[in-house]
Amino acid sequence: MSSPAINLQSILRLPLTSPEIASTLRAVNNGEPVPDPDIKSYSDSVYFNYYSLGLSLLYAPQQGYKPKQNLKFEELELEKLVLDSIDVYNVPPAKDSDKKSGKSAFASYPALPLVVERANLKDGDNDPIVRAPSISITATTTGKDLVSTLGEPDKKGGGAGPSNGSIDIWTEWYKDGVMVEFGGDEARGPQAWERGKDAAWRVLTLYKTFPLGLPTDGAGSSESD
């Protein structure tokens, strides 16, 4: 019997001290103890990077809390940190990841397929829009696959400039709280958008949407490797 899909979206906006976050991370690690994260603290955000799990959790300070840089776990005010977004990594094949552009410190997320629940939307007449309640993302899901299930993105960027110096293409769906960066040769260079439909995803960011489908402050940005 296969294990039930892990719902990463269910822990968004929970405080760092929430037992649900701890239990979800343990489930991602197949029930084993979760490795200590690499912590990167800034005045407006704190990243918990779980490299072996292919996850980077961004916590947003609350109640006026402004963490100093380079804090250790025991120096953080844990009760004032709320999970704002989650980066899920899908490491590209070795021929792409070993290039001089830098090999990712993150492993691939081990609990694929990733099930992403979709927002309940209404049309101009305030009637519910009928669409699939969730999508399933595998290691080989491409830009074309995502557009076929999520529709045209609300925002997109990257891909400009020479192949060896451009930013990989990315797309964002505000209403569903999803941002996707793509990897591989197809996702960079002057013709990236023509070829990008065949590029597999590299980083998928989940964040909590507001009723109007707007992203939270700071969501949709990945912690650099």
pTM (two decimals): 0.85
Do residue 76 and residue 122 come from a single domain? no
Q: How confident is the model at residue 132 (pLDDT cuts 50, 70, 90)?
A: confident
Question: What is the β-pairing status of strands 134-137 and 201-207?
Answer: unpaired
- Gyration radius of the chain's alpha carbons: 18
- The Cβ of residue 84 has, within 10 Å, a number of other Cβ atoms equal to 21
Q: In what order do the strands lie in the sheet with 170-173?
A: 38-42, 45-50, 55-61, 81-89, 201-207, 178-182, 170-173, 155-157
Domain region containing 137? 112-207
Asked if residue 218 is part of any domain, the answer here is no
Higher pLDDT, 4 or 56: 56
Do residue 12 and residue 77 come from a single domain? yes
Do residue 73 and residue 29 come from a single domain? yes
Q: How confident is the model at residue 221 (pLDDT cuts 50, 70, 90)?
A: very low
Give the H/E segment covering residue 14. none
Do residue 48 and residue 125 come from a single domain? no
Mean pLDDT of 212-216: 40
Query: What domain count does the chain have?
Result: 2
Given a cut of 50, is residue 38 above it in pLDDT? yes
pLDDT given at position 92: 75
Asked if residue 136 is part of any domain, the answer here is yes
Do residue 201 and residue 118 come from a single domain? yes
Q: How confident is the model at residue 214 (pLDDT cuts 50, 70, 90)?
A: very low
- The Cβ of residue 160 has, within 10 Å, a number of other Cβ atoms equal to 14
